[in-house]
Amino acid sequence: MSAYLILLGLITSAWAIVGFSVAMLLLKLRWNLIGGVLLAFIGFILPMCVGVNALDQSGNHSGMRLRDATTIFGMLEFSYEVLLLVSVAGMITGVLAGTIVGLCPRTNDEGARQRNARSWTTWKLIVAGPLAMTVVSTLFFLADIRAKDRLAQFRDKHETFLDVQEEVAPRQQNGAAIVHDALLLALLEDESPDWILHDYRQMKNQPQPVLATIRRNDFDLLKIFLPSFPHTQQVLDYAKRHEASFLNLRSKVLEEGLEYRHWDEEVARFTAVHALAQLQQGDVDSALNDLKLLRVMAAQTLDRRIEDSFSFVQIEEFRYLVFQGMLGKTTPVPDQAYDEMLTDVGDIDASLRRSLKRNTSQEIVRSIDNLLHEHPDERLDFAAIYQRVTERIIYQEHIPDCTHRLENEINQTFQSTTDPFVVTPGVAFPMLWNMNEAWLLTSQLSSHAYQAIQYRFKHHTRLELVKAVRMLQRERSQKNRFLTQQEFVIGATSSQLTSAIPLEYLTLHNPTTGKAEGAIVASPLHAQLDDYLGLYFGPAIFPIVDAKSPSMKIRDTQFNGTWELASVKSAPMRLMIPTPKASTSNPSPPMR
């Protein structure tokens, strides 16, 4: 913004010259009363009225303080008002200086004392003001041309970067790609999918309020494990209709080792649906293969050649949905399932880092295009034109500088040596959240960076939860009962779980017999069933899903972490299994 501040200084100086010339010309008049009145009106009253009007246009008198005139956000918000104020300041300063200099006595060639103003050459005073304004306007015009050129060069640099990425990671056209696309087309054309997807499509096709968010809660798929659930057969039929092409895709990926890397969310979701359908029918081996396919999908979306890797997040949630189904349906859960969930899917830090850099380049191209291209519906008055020029002059310095600092922050935050359990964005991205860059504040880049930190935290937290549940199953099989709180802490310590996440352990009890029939291992941040920050061991998860749908709220983390489930009297760490709404039979047979 230094160039713009220099131009503002030159504008102030130009108006000061104008004010000085006006004062000197009026003081040259022989009619003191007329000259004094004109000087007061033109030199003081009129500029002050312009200044008051500028403050009124800003709508906030207190907002026009010095800090608003020297920070980029304030400069952009009040740029035209700032121009008026500095012009007024320059004019009044020049008039004051001209008045003082012009009233000073001076001896003329004849020896008589007269005002100093009358000794100044008239034509020089008339030419000085317009000449100063012409020079400043020319400099402003040249600064705008230079700003456009610098912005265009910076934009071309990042557009080239995006084009190179597209060339490096082209869409593959192998057997897996062909089968994937055919399956995707069939899924999109299916008019009788599961009830969740059916309702979601209907809601999307209906007119919605501007701020309405349509949410698809796939966690409700676990209801198919409830006895007599009305939509179970619909899900089974949906999985059966597309099973042949799906198994062909699974075979090409798992057996032939083909890569695709551009997995669509609909295909990943169907993989989870198929796995849950297999579990419901008792085919654990097929469900394990589906779980393995989801892990391969997640790993391939983290490929170093794929820059837009946020699809990994959704695929990972489908993995944990299937794993949660196994924890509730299968007793005991096979070791292969734990091994699959704990298998390394790749360097998530590097992938998120590349994704954010790609998002940064995309936002740079979009923002600069908005600065350089004229909008047909835009006003063409002086204020609007000046606003556009001001933005270009300011951002031709700030966007490159901001981008450099932002990329450094991304590189430092998303590397293997960074603590993945740090989730405070103010710590990880101090410049991103506090630099007052309007082109970032109006984009989604800030939220992407914040979400990336959250994703990394959740990814590593879920791995610790899987390890803890594996330990719980092993200890329970040895003791033939659920662990006490002290035994769980001892087991977690012996299993070398990280101390960065204080895991919570609660048992789930049958409301009739009082016997423990399940357990919860959760992060303190676990608040929704579908945030996958809590794993539910045993079939008690199914009536809980039925009881808490559609909100899925399981705990109020803002109010002392209060659980939504009723607790056993005088034992807050022992929760009662709710009675399901979807079935009248016993939904939670005791674990054997």
The pLDDT of residue 331: 85
Residue 370, both tokens: 């908005």
Contact 540, 573 (CB under 8 A): no
117-126, long-range: CB < 8 A, 24+ apart: 117/23, 117/24, 117/25, 117/27, 117/28, 118/27, 118/28, 120/24, 120/28, 122/25, 122/28, 125/21, 125/24, 125/25, 126/21, 126/25
pLDDT of residue 217 exceeding 80, the answer is yes
Which range, of 36-50, 143-157, 185-199, 446-460, averages the lowest pLDDT?
Answer: 36-50
Percent of the chain beyond pLDDT 90? 40
Going by pLDDT thresholds of 50, 70 and 90, the confidence category of residue 294 is very high
382 vs 323: which has the higher pLDDT: 323
Residue 328, both tokens: 């509730």
The pLDDT of residue 76: 60
Going by pLDDT thresholds of 50, 70 and 90, the confidence category of residue 585 is very low
* 477-486 mean pLDDT: 93
The pLDDT of residue 358: 85
* 492-509 mean pLDDT: 86
The pLDDT of residue 428: 54
CA–CA dist 15, 133 (Å, integer): 7
The pLDDT of residue 61: 45
Q: Tokens 């083909």 sit at which residue?
A: 258
Q: Tokens 């919605």 sit at which residue?
A: 208
pLDDT in tens, 425-441: 555 565 555 445 666 66
The most distant pair of C-alpha atoms in the chain lies apart, rounded to whole Å, by 122
* 367-389 mean pLDDT: 81
Q: What is the DSSP string of 8-72?
A: HHHHHHHHHHHHHHHHHHHHT-S-HHHHHHHHHIIIIIHHHHHHHHHHHHHT-GGG-SHHHHHSH
Q: What is the pTM of this model?
A: 0.79
CA–CA dist 297, 302 (Å, integer): 9
User: How many other C-beta atoms are found inside a 10 Å radius of the C-beta of residue 542?
Assistant: 27
Which residues make Cβ contacts (< 8 Å) with residue 117, sequence separation at least 6? 23, 24, 25, 27, 28, 98, 101, 102, 103
pLDDT in tens, 119-162: 788 888 889 989 999 999 999 999 999 999 999 999 999 998 88
CA–CA dist 64, 58 (Å, integer): 8
DSSP 8-state assignment for residue 417: T
Mean pLDDT value across the chain: 83
Contact 453, 423 (CB under 8 A): yes
pLDDT in tens, 57-104: 655 544 444 444 455 555 565 577 778 888 888 888 888 888 888 878
pLDDT of residue 587 exceeding 60, the answer is no
